[in-house]
Amino acid sequence: MKWIVGTFLAVLIASISLIAAPGHAACMVMTNFGPAPDFDCDGIIDEFDNCPGIANSEQRDMDRDRIGDACDSLLEEIIVNPDGNLKQGEIAHLTVRMINSQPGPISEITVRVANKELGIDAEQRVAYIPQGEMAVVDFWLRIPKCARAKAYDLSVTASSGGVLESQRERIIVQSSDACGTADGPLDTTVINVFNRIDVDHGENAIIPISIMNLGDSSATYDLGVQSPGTWRIDPAPRMTLVAGHGDEVYLYIEGGNAGPYTIQLTITSGDQTTVVPIDVYVRSPRAEPAVFPGLWVLQGIFIIILLALIIIAIVIVLRKSGRHDRHDSTDSARISETPHKPRKRVAVEDAEKKVETYY
């Protein structure tokens, strides 16, 4: 009787609390400890629901982050290079990774990065992301040369079909001597190159060099290398890029003496020149195992001796087999040539006829 009264009071109190809390769902789930609230009415109580605000009875969690796929954000990760610390006039590389954790595909996604104070407002579109797949969007953002040195929040939004998700990514702008200088083609150029590479002694190292022109007009770039060894750039040491486009060339350098050294990659466009240092480490040649010069001679002698022993063994076996055959034939001949001795005849006289009487 007591448990009935207790259950009744629990239901009554829960009902009153639901009525007193506007906007809360009226769904309840009966448990061993009485009724429990279920905000999204999906049959999973709020305490154990990995997405209590949206109905998801299957509790799907593809990325295993303990947040149901129905509540997962489309904006999975935002990366700013170099490390979120940028200098005045520098170009930042911002990467937005999106994962579709929804039960179906998502189409026509618009990704936007903006900061009014820095004058940044860039937008890109992704046509289609299948269910469970990832899409990556890259932005190149230029920090104004005279921007105030402080922290800024970039607003990153993704929208599709009226659904809007937004995150903020903080960057820190540091002061430099760029403020007040005239703009040149290299101020709107992005150069990507490895700053360190290892190469074996006597081998060629291949270093890709990627250049992107983010300016408003075409630009020509001349590449050169200061290196103690031989080098070449393929397909050519000169690149001409239209606005908004990029290209890639390859630097071939030959590994000289073992040890580290640094080469200088120079890129010139108009009146501007930039130098990119590249550290090269030449690995020592690997020592080959010592080989006895007459080893092949010894191997040949060993094979000859082995063959000779095999032949001798065969000859001995054949000779023994021949001797046995000759002994068998001689014994047979001796037996056949031996004359038969005549049998002796013994005369037997009748005892009755030959009786002698002695007196």
CB 199 within 8 A of CB 283: yes
pLDDT of residue 94: 94
Single-letter amino acid, residue 99: I
Find the mean pLDDT for residues 37-60.
78
Band (pLDDT 50/70/90 cuts) for residue 81 is: confident
| CA gap 320, 152 in Å, rounded | 104
**Coil, strand, or helix at residue 287?**
coil
Q: What is the DSSP string of 242-286?
A: -TT-EEEEEEEEE--SSEEEEEEEEEEETTEEEEEEEEEEEEPPP
Q: Give per-residue pLDDT as tens, 94-135.
A: 999 998 877 788 899 999 999 999 999 999 999 999 988 999
Band (pLDDT 50/70/90 cuts) for residue 55 is: confident
Cα–Cα separations (whole angstroms), residue 293 to 288, 296, 321:
14, 8, 45
* Peptide linkage before 235 cis (omega within 30 of 0): yes
pLDDT higher for 297 or 73? 297
Q: Which of 204, 267, 200, 271 is nearest to 238 (CA)?
A: 267
Domain with CATH 2.60.40.10 in the chain: 73-174, 185-283
pLDDT of residue 172: 95
With a pLDDT cut of 70, the percent of the chain lying above it is: 75
Q: Which of 81, 77, 99 is nearest to 90 (CA)?
A: 81
CB 50 within 8 A of CB 67: yes
pLDDT of residue 128: 93
**Coil, strand, or helix at residue 293?**
coil
Query: Which are the contacts of 230, defined by CB distance < 8 A and separation ≥ 6?
Result: 253, 254
Average pLDDT of the residues of the chain: 80
Q: Give per-residue pLDDT as tens, 232-262.
A: 999 999 999 999 899 999 999 887 788 899 9
Single-letter amino acid, residue 243: A
Q: Give per-residue pLDDT as tens, 181-215.
A: 888 999 999 999 988 999 888 888 899 999 999 98
CB 55 within 8 A of CB 27: no
Band (pLDDT 50/70/90 cuts) for residue 292 is: low
Q: Give per-residue pLDDT as tens, 335-352.
A: 555 555 555 554 545 545
pLDDT of residue 65: 63
| CA gap 266, 77 in Å, rounded | 35
Q: Which of 157-166, 170-179, 333-342 is predicted least confidently?
A: 333-342
Report the DSSP pairing between strands 204-213 and 246-254: antiparallel
pLDDT of residue 7: 45
CB 131 within 8 A of CB 148: no
Q: Which fold has domain 73-174?
A: Immunoglobulin-like (2.60.40)
pLDDT at 13 over 70: no
The structure's pTM equals 0.57
pLDDT of residue 340: 52
Q: Does domain 185-283 have CATH number 3.40.50.620?
A: no
pLDDT higher for 104 or 20? 104
Strands (E), the chain: 28-31, 34-37, 75-81, 85-87, 91-99, 106-115, 120-129, 134-142, 151-160, 163-174, 189-193, 196-200, 204-213, 219-226, 231-234, 238-241, 246-254, 259-269, 272-283
Report the DSSP pairing between strands 163-174 and 85-87: parallel
pLDDT of residue 206: 92
